[in-house]
Protein backbone atom coordinates (compact mmCIF):
# COMPACT_ATOMS: atom_id res chain seq x y z
CA UNK A 1 0.00 0.00 0.00
CA UNK A 2 1.23 3.53 -0.65
CA UNK A 3 2.04 5.79 2.28
CA UNK A 4 1.12 9.42 2.76
CA UNK A 5 3.92 11.92 3.39
CA UNK A 6 3.29 15.67 3.52
CA UNK A 7 0.00 15.10 1.75
CA UNK A 8 1.45 12.98 -1.05
CA UNK A 9 1.04 9.30 -1.72
CA UNK A 10 4.38 7.56 -1.94
CA UNK A 11 4.88 4.32 -3.89
CA UNK A 12 7.83 3.31 -1.75
CA UNK A 13 6.08 0.19 -0.45
CA UNK A 14 5.23 -0.93 -3.95
CA UNK A 15 8.10 -3.40 -4.21
CA UNK A 16 7.95 -3.49 -8.00
CA UNK A 17 10.39 -5.63 -10.01
CA UNK A 18 12.51 -2.59 -10.91
CA UNK A 19 13.11 -1.79 -7.25
CA UNK A 20 14.00 -5.40 -6.47
CA UNK A 21 16.53 -5.49 -9.32
CA UNK A 22 18.05 -2.17 -8.27
CA UNK A 23 18.55 -3.31 -4.69
CA UNK A 24 19.87 -6.72 -5.73
CA UNK A 25 22.47 -5.21 -8.07
CA UNK A 26 23.45 -2.68 -5.42
CA UNK A 27 23.92 -5.50 -2.93
CA UNK A 28 26.10 -7.52 -5.31
CA UNK A 29 28.27 -4.51 -6.17
CA UNK A 30 28.72 -3.24 -2.63
CA UNK A 31 29.47 -6.70 -1.25
CA UNK A 32 32.27 -7.11 -3.76
CA UNK A 33 33.70 -3.65 -3.02
CA UNK A 34 33.42 -4.25 0.72
CA UNK A 35 35.70 -7.23 0.42
CA UNK A 36 37.99 -5.59 -2.13
CA UNK A 37 38.54 -2.25 -0.44
CA UNK A 38 37.62 -2.80 3.20
CA UNK A 39 35.18 0.12 3.09
CA UNK A 40 32.13 -1.87 4.16
CA UNK A 41 30.31 -0.79 1.03
CA UNK A 42 28.77 2.15 2.90
CA UNK A 43 30.19 4.90 0.75
CA UNK A 44 28.96 3.07 -2.32
CA UNK A 45 25.45 2.54 -0.98
CA UNK A 46 24.66 6.00 0.39
CA UNK A 47 24.43 7.80 -2.98
CA UNK A 48 22.47 4.97 -4.61
CA UNK A 49 19.99 4.48 -1.76
CA UNK A 50 19.50 8.26 -1.66
CA UNK A 51 18.62 8.19 -5.37
CA UNK A 52 16.31 5.18 -4.97
CA UNK A 53 14.35 6.73 -2.09
CA UNK A 54 14.20 10.20 -3.66
CA UNK A 55 12.96 8.78 -6.95
CA UNK A 56 10.08 7.16 -5.09
CA UNK A 57 8.89 10.30 -3.37
CA UNK A 58 10.74 10.46 -0.05
CA UNK A 59 11.70 14.06 0.69
CA UNK A 60 15.36 14.79 0.04
CA UNK A 61 16.40 15.53 3.62
CA UNK A 62 14.94 12.30 4.99
CA UNK A 63 16.13 10.25 2.00
CA UNK A 64 19.75 11.19 2.70
CA UNK A 65 19.48 10.32 6.39
CA UNK A 66 17.74 7.01 5.72
CA UNK A 67 20.32 6.15 3.06
CA UNK A 68 23.12 6.73 5.57
CA UNK A 69 21.42 4.65 8.27
CA UNK A 70 20.37 1.82 5.96
CA UNK A 71 23.78 1.53 4.34
CA UNK A 72 25.38 1.34 7.77
CA UNK A 73 22.96 -1.42 8.79
CA UNK A 74 23.98 -3.59 5.82
CA UNK A 75 27.60 -3.42 6.98
CA UNK A 76 26.66 -5.54 9.99
CA UNK A 77 26.14 -8.40 7.52
CA UNK A 78 28.76 -7.69 4.85
CA UNK A 79 31.53 -7.25 7.40
CA UNK A 80 31.03 -10.78 8.75
CA UNK A 81 31.32 -12.34 5.29
CA UNK A 82 34.28 -10.16 4.32
CA UNK A 83 36.15 -10.77 7.58
CA UNK A 84 35.95 -14.53 7.18
CA UNK A 85 37.68 -14.29 3.82
CA UNK A 86 40.37 -11.89 5.07
CA UNK A 87 40.97 -13.99 8.18
CA UNK A 88 41.69 -17.05 6.06
CA UNK A 89 44.42 -15.01 4.37
CA UNK A 90 45.88 -14.16 7.79
CA UNK A 91 45.76 -10.47 6.92
CA UNK A 92 43.74 -9.01 9.82
CA UNK A 93 45.69 -7.25 12.57
CA UNK A 94 43.51 -8.33 15.48
CA UNK A 95 45.69 -6.37 17.90
CA UNK A 96 44.60 -3.20 16.11
CA UNK A 97 40.96 -4.27 16.11
CA UNK A 98 41.09 -4.68 19.90
CA UNK A 99 42.86 -1.34 20.32
CA UNK A 100 40.54 0.70 18.11
CA UNK A 101 37.17 -0.93 18.90
CA UNK A 102 36.45 0.76 22.29
CA UNK A 103 36.94 4.23 20.83
CA UNK A 104 34.92 3.30 17.76
CA UNK A 105 31.88 2.35 19.85
CA UNK A 106 32.12 5.62 21.82
CA UNK A 107 32.49 7.79 18.73
CA UNK A 108 29.69 5.99 16.89
CA UNK A 109 27.29 6.48 19.80
CA UNK A 110 28.04 10.21 19.97
CA UNK A 111 27.39 10.62 16.24
CA UNK A 112 24.30 8.46 15.70
CA UNK A 113 22.50 9.41 18.91
CA UNK A 114 23.48 13.07 18.89
CA UNK A 115 24.68 15.09 15.94
CA UNK A 116 23.09 12.91 13.24
CA UNK A 117 19.53 13.62 14.38
CA UNK A 118 20.20 17.37 14.67
CA UNK A 119 21.84 18.02 11.29
CA UNK A 120 19.91 18.47 8.06
CA UNK A 121 20.34 15.85 5.35
CA UNK A 122 21.90 18.42 3.00
CA UNK A 123 24.58 19.20 5.59
CA UNK A 124 25.34 15.50 6.01
CA UNK A 125 25.55 15.10 2.23
CA UNK A 126 27.97 18.04 1.99
CA UNK A 127 30.08 16.61 4.81
CA UNK A 128 30.05 13.22 3.09
CA UNK A 129 31.26 14.73 -0.19
CA UNK A 130 34.01 16.81 1.40
CA UNK A 131 35.46 14.15 3.60
CA UNK A 132 35.29 11.40 1.01
CA UNK A 133 36.97 13.67 -1.53
CA UNK A 134 39.75 14.46 0.93
CA UNK A 135 40.26 10.78 1.73
CA UNK A 136 40.41 9.95 -1.98
CA UNK A 137 43.06 12.59 -2.60
CA UNK A 138 45.25 11.30 0.20
CA UNK A 139 44.98 7.77 -1.14
CA UNK A 140 45.46 8.74 -4.80
CA UNK A 141 48.62 10.73 -4.08
CA UNK A 142 50.04 7.66 -2.38
CA UNK A 143 52.18 9.68 -0.04
CA UNK A 144 54.78 7.55 1.68
CA UNK A 145 54.81 7.72 5.48
CA UNK A 146 58.00 8.46 7.32
CA UNK A 147 59.83 5.15 7.86
CA UNK A 148 60.11 5.86 11.58
CA UNK A 149 56.37 6.44 12.07
CA UNK A 150 54.62 3.77 14.13
CA UNK A 151 51.18 3.18 15.56
CA UNK A 152 50.26 5.12 18.73
CA UNK A 153 49.85 3.51 22.13
CA UNK A 154 46.61 2.43 23.79
CA UNK A 155 45.32 5.95 24.45
CA UNK A 156 46.17 7.03 20.92
CA UNK A 157 44.34 4.05 19.41
CA UNK A 158 41.25 4.76 21.51
CA UNK A 159 41.35 8.38 20.36
CA UNK A 160 41.78 7.37 16.72
CA UNK A 161 38.96 4.85 17.06
CA UNK A 162 36.66 7.55 18.45
CA UNK A 163 37.30 9.75 15.42
CA UNK A 164 36.74 6.82 13.03
CA UNK A 165 33.48 5.80 14.73
CA UNK A 166 32.20 9.38 14.91
CA UNK A 167 32.90 10.23 11.27
CA UNK A 168 31.49 6.87 10.14
CA UNK A 169 28.26 7.60 11.99
CA UNK A 170 27.81 10.87 10.10
CA UNK A 171 28.36 9.44 6.61
CA UNK A 172 27.10 5.85 6.94
CA UNK A 173 30.35 4.15 5.99
CA UNK A 174 32.26 1.33 7.66
CA UNK A 175 35.24 3.50 8.52
CA UNK A 176 37.62 2.29 5.84
CA UNK A 177 37.85 5.79 4.38
CA UNK A 178 39.49 6.87 7.65
CA UNK A 179 41.02 3.72 9.10
CA UNK A 180 42.80 2.57 5.93
CA UNK A 181 44.65 5.89 5.38
CA UNK A 182 45.35 6.09 9.14
CA UNK A 183 46.88 2.63 9.29
CA UNK A 184 48.91 3.04 6.09
CA UNK A 185 50.13 6.43 7.42
CA UNK A 186 51.42 4.48 10.43
CA UNK A 187 53.25 2.04 8.13
CA UNK A 188 50.73 -0.78 8.25
CA UNK A 189 50.84 -2.64 4.90
CA UNK A 190 47.89 -1.76 2.64
CA UNK A 191 46.56 -5.32 2.46
CA UNK A 192 46.66 -5.61 6.26
CA UNK A 193 45.00 -2.20 6.57
CA UNK A 194 42.17 -3.18 4.22
CA UNK A 195 41.60 -6.49 6.02
CA UNK A 196 41.69 -4.87 9.46
CA UNK A 197 39.31 -2.15 8.30
CA UNK A 198 36.85 -4.85 7.22
CA UNK A 199 36.99 -6.33 10.72
CA UNK A 200 36.38 -2.89 12.27
CA UNK A 201 33.24 -2.54 10.18
CA UNK A 202 31.19 -4.74 12.52
CA UNK A 203 31.55 -2.73 15.77
CA UNK A 204 31.21 0.51 13.79
CA UNK A 205 27.99 -0.64 12.15
CA UNK A 206 26.41 -2.22 15.21
CA UNK A 207 26.98 0.79 17.46
CA UNK A 208 25.73 3.25 14.87
CA UNK A 209 22.64 1.24 13.89
CA UNK A 210 21.51 1.11 17.51
CA UNK A 211 21.87 4.88 17.62
CA UNK A 212 19.97 5.41 14.35
CA UNK A 213 17.13 3.17 15.53
CA UNK A 214 16.78 5.01 18.83
CA UNK A 215 17.36 8.50 17.43
CA UNK A 216 14.70 8.08 14.72
CA UNK A 217 11.87 6.80 16.89
CA UNK A 218 9.93 10.05 16.62
CA UNK A 219 9.94 10.24 12.81
CA UNK A 220 6.43 10.76 11.41
CA UNK A 221 7.05 10.61 7.64
CA UNK A 222 9.35 7.63 7.18
CA UNK A 223 8.30 4.71 4.96
CA UNK A 224 6.50 1.75 6.59
CA UNK A 225 8.67 -1.04 7.95
CA UNK A 226 11.36 1.41 9.04
CA UNK A 227 13.23 1.09 12.32
CA UNK A 228 14.05 4.66 13.17
CA UNK A 229 16.13 5.87 10.22
CA UNK A 230 16.78 2.32 8.95
CA UNK A 231 14.70 1.25 5.91
CA UNK A 232 14.25 -2.45 6.63
CA UNK A 233 13.07 -3.67 3.16
CA UNK A 234 16.14 -2.09 1.54
CA UNK A 235 18.38 -3.51 4.25
CA UNK A 236 17.03 -7.04 3.75
CA UNK A 237 17.51 -7.02 -0.02
CA UNK A 238 20.97 -5.44 -0.08
CA UNK A 239 22.31 -7.55 2.78
CA UNK A 240 21.04 -10.78 1.22
CA UNK A 241 22.89 -10.20 -2.04
CA UNK A 242 25.99 -8.45 -0.65
CA UNK A 243 27.10 -11.43 1.42
CA UNK A 244 27.39 -13.44 -1.80
CA UNK A 245 30.11 -11.26 -3.32
CA UNK A 246 32.04 -9.97 -0.29
CA UNK A 247 34.30 -13.08 -0.14
CA UNK A 248 35.02 -12.71 -3.87
CA UNK A 249 36.15 -9.13 -3.37
CA UNK A 250 38.35 -10.10 -0.44
CA UNK A 251 40.02 -12.79 -2.53
CA UNK A 252 40.71 -10.37 -5.38
CA UNK A 253 42.17 -7.82 -2.95
CA UNK A 254 45.06 -10.14 -2.17
CA UNK A 255 45.92 -10.52 -5.85
CA UNK A 256 46.17 -6.83 -6.81
CA UNK A 257 49.35 -4.74 -6.53
CA UNK A 258 49.37 -2.10 -3.78
CA UNK A 259 49.39 0.98 -6.03
CA UNK A 260 46.55 -0.30 -8.21
CA UNK A 261 44.44 -1.09 -5.15
CA UNK A 262 44.89 2.45 -3.84
CA UNK A 263 44.03 3.99 -7.22
CA UNK A 264 40.85 1.90 -7.50
CA UNK A 265 39.89 2.98 -4.00
CA UNK A 266 40.46 6.68 -4.76
CA UNK A 267 38.72 6.70 -8.15
CA UNK A 268 35.50 5.24 -6.74
CA UNK A 269 35.51 7.72 -3.87
CA UNK A 270 35.84 10.71 -6.21
CA UNK A 271 32.76 9.68 -8.18
CA UNK A 272 30.67 9.23 -5.06
CA UNK A 273 31.86 12.50 -3.55
CA UNK A 274 30.80 14.34 -6.71
CA UNK A 275 27.31 12.84 -6.64
CA UNK A 276 26.72 13.66 -2.99
CA UNK A 277 28.00 17.21 -3.52
CA UNK A 278 25.34 17.57 -6.22
CA UNK A 279 22.71 16.24 -3.79
CA UNK A 280 23.82 18.67 -1.08
CA UNK A 281 23.61 21.66 -3.41
CA UNK A 282 20.30 20.68 -4.98
CA UNK A 283 18.54 19.75 -1.73
What is the tens place of the pLDDT at every residue in 12-60?
445 678 888 889 999 898 888 767 765 556 667 888 898 888 888 888 8
Residue 179 lies in a domain: yes
126, containing H or E segment: helix 121-141
More confident residue, 175 or 178: 178
DSSP-derived letter for residue 119 is: S
CA pair distance 182, 177, nearest whole angstrom: 9
Residue 176 lies in a domain: yes
Residue 10 lies in a domain: no
For the chain, give the percent of residues with pLDDT over 70.
86
pLDDT reported for residue 7: 40
Residue 2 lies in a domain: no
Q: Model pTM?
A: 0.76
CA pair distance 84, 199, nearest whole angstrom: 9
φ/ψ of residue 44, rounded to 5: -80, -40
Residue 224 lies in a domain: yes
Residue 11 lies in a domain: no
Residue 57 lies in a domain: yes
Residue 44 lies in a domain: yes
Give the count of domains, the chain. 1
- Full residue range of the structural domain in which residue 246 is found: 16-282
Amino acid sequence: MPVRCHGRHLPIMSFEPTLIVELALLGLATGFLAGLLGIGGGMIMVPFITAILSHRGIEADLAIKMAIATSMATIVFTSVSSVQAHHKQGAIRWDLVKGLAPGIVLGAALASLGLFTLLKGSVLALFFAGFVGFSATQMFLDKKPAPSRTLPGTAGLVGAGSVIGFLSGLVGAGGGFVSVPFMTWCNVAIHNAVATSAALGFPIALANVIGYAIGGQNLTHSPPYSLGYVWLPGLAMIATFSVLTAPVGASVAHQLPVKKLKRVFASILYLLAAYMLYRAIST
